[in-house]
Structure 1
Amino acid sequence: MPKLAATSPRPIRKAAQSLRWFVRAFEDQAARISEETGVAYQADHTDLARVFAEWRKAFDAQKPRDATDYPAYVGFAAGLVLRTLLQVKPVQVTGLPEGADTTNPAYYWPEGYLYVVFCLNVRGLVLETDFDGHQTPRTDLDDVRTWWSFRENVEEDSALAIAFLEHFAGEDAHWETPEIFHPDRTARIAGRFYAPNLHPLNGTVEDA
């Protein structure tokens, strides 16, 4: 499955901290999912810029000084992106394919599905290219019942998006204080990088 081409001369974790890279990568992900599912998305660029700005503020607030914590912080930072996307809601769905099966997470909650897949794919890309790591998404990522719980819980407390992304990525989630970075967050290095049901970022995203 195609991955986002890492063309930046800088580490991807650095390139991803630019608004231009963030927006292009997000739009690329939305286009890829739309192509494969038939869901039509419309993103508000002003809201995407707000997502990025709020995420950078939260990212910088807890960024660890110890470089040994950087791989673990990648997962936490991706969770912060997901939390902010769910708070700001920069995307609207403008069309679904006829007969869309709403027991499929991509159709049950198209916006949430886009946000989760984007965050998982960028998370995995950074771990793979910058830290020689991998992530193994859980099989229940396909289960609409998991998405019911995810949607209900993050509507009550958006910070739980951080824990849910850890869970989706195959890690042990910190459910009690998900909004606080725990240096013991570690990735499970096993299996494949992308789960078959995900829609990887497609094409090349240039650095700013």
Structure 2
Amino acid sequence: MFDLSRSIRNLPGTNKPLRVAVRQLRWFKEAFRSHADFCGKAMECDFCVDEIKLAGAFVRWLDSIDRQKPKDKVERHDFFRFAPSLVLRELVADMPIRAACAPAGVDPTSAAAFWPEGYVATTFCLTVYAATMDQEFHIDVHVSEMVDHLRSWWSFRENASNDTEYAAGFFQMLLGNEPNWWMPTNFSARTRNVPTQDSTEINCSPE
């Protein structure tokens, strides 16, 4: 499905830590466009990026994390795990990307074919998150096997269309966390969870 290591290498360079670069609109936009091109080539599908919508999602995300950033440094690791779920929430709220055609380079029953825009947005968040966690904490990111289950994506798209908060919960589930479905975008109300046994590292490319 998705080659995480290749996607990480595709991120634009920066002389700043990723945790700083991702908070800068110029780098964020360049990284998103680069990821969309990367996915487009693998999926054999062109994507159009709406710069205004992308900037809007970015600004809303910054405001959200600035309001929720914990003062206790003990929670720093948990907040790094939580923050990208808010990015996905904002991207899904006003999707800044559109597929120009149906993907021709992927299995028609795959998540990438079912919802190419949501797939690109989600894997973008996973890519930046994984690269940041490696840089900050020297750990590999593992993702639940549900990322390969089309049924999960059906549920994701349907529920997120009714309530964009669901996107944050879906992302947290991909990382092996059980969201607080009452308030999935509230860091202080998060549910702490030990990764489940079905977690596996993503390292497969679209076919």
TM (norm. structure 2) is 0.85
User: Does structure 1 conserve the Cα–Cα contact (< 8 Å) formed by 2:103 and 2:116?
Assistant: no
Matched, 1:114 2:120: yes
Contact 1:29 1:118 in 2 (8 A): yes
Whether the aligned pair in 2 keeps the contact of 1:142 and 1:197 (CA below 8 Å) is no
**Is structure 2 residue 184 aligned with structure 1 residue 196?**
no
> Which of 167, 177, 180 is equivalent to 1:174?
180
Give the aligned partner of residue 143 of structure 1. 149
1:142 alignment partner AA: D
1:37 alignment counterpart: 43
Aligned residue-pair number: 199
More helix by share: 2
Percent identity between the two aligned chains: 30
Q: Secondary structure at the match of 2:100?
A: strand
Residues 36-95 of structure 1 show CA distances to partners (whole Å, capped at 9, x for unaligned) of 111211001111111111111111110111222122112221011000001111111112
Q: Which has the higher contact order (CA 8 A, sep 6+)?
A: 1
Q: CA deviation at 1:144?
A: 0.7
Report if the CA contact (8 A) 2:144-2:199 is conserved. no
Letter in 1 for 2:172: E
Do the aligned partners of 2:44 and 2:104 also contact (CA within 8 Å) in 1? no
Give the match's secondary structure for 1:25.
helix
Give 1:60's aligned amino acid: D
Aligned position for 2:158:
152
- Measured in 1, the distance between the counterparts of 2:70 and 2:37 equals 34
Are 1:49 and 2:65 matched, yes or no?
no
Q: Structure 1 residues 56, 17: closer, same or farther in 2, change over 3 A?
A: same
Q: Aligned in 2, Cα 1:198/1:192: closer, same or farther, shift over 3 Å?
A: farther
* Helix, strand or coil at the partner of 1:95: coil
| Aligned residue identity for 1:14 | V
Q: Which one-letter code corresponds to 1:166 in the other structure?
A: Q
Distance in structure 2 (CA, Å) of the matches to 1:175 and 1:91 = 27
Given candidates 17, 37, 40, the residue that maps to 1:11 is: 17
- For residues 113 and 187 of structure 1, do their structure 2 counterparts lie closer, same or farther at Cα, with a shift above 3 Å needed? farther
Please say if 1:79 is aligned against 2:85.
Answer: yes
Q: Which of 61, 74, 94 pairs up with 2:67?
A: 61
2:47, 2:98 within 8 Å by CA — same for their partners in 1? yes
The separation in 1 between residues aligned to 2:200 and 2:16, in whole angstroms, is: 22
- Worse overlay, 29-38 or 88-97: 88-97
Displacement after TM superposition at 1:101 (Å)? 4.0
Inter-CA distance 175–109: structure 2 relative to 1 (3 Å threshold): same
